[in-house]
Amino acid sequence: MAVVVGYLSTNEGEAALRAAVTEAGRRETRLVVVLARRSRGDDQSTLDSEADAVSDRLDDADIAFEVRQLRRADDIAESLVATAEEVGAELIVIGLRRRSPVGKLILGSNAQRILLDAPCPVLAVKPEPSDARA
The single-letter DSSP state of residue 11 is: H
d(CA 38, CA 72): 10
Confidence (pLDDT) at 61: 87
Burial class (CB in 10 A: 0-12, 13-18, 19+), 56: exposed
Report the C-alpha dihedral over residues 46, 48, 50, 53, rounded to 10 degrees: -140
d(CA 5, CA 68): 10
Residues in the chain: 134
> 2-132, superfamily in CATH?
HUPs (3.40.50.620)
Residue range 11-50, pLDDT digits in tens? 999 999 999 999 999 999 999 999 986 655 556 777 788 8
- Could you tell me the residue ranges of all domains in the chain? 2-132
Residue range 46-66, pLDDT digits in tens? 778 888 999 999 998 889 999
Residue range 79-125, pLDDT digits in tens? 999 999 999 999 999 998 776 666 555 445 888 899 999 999 999 99
Confidence (pLDDT) at 134: 47
Confidence (pLDDT) at 101: 65
110 vs 131 pLDDT, higher one = 110
Confidence (pLDDT) at 133: 46
Confidence (pLDDT) at 100: 63
- At a CB cut-off of 8 Å and minimum separation 6, what does 98 contact? 126
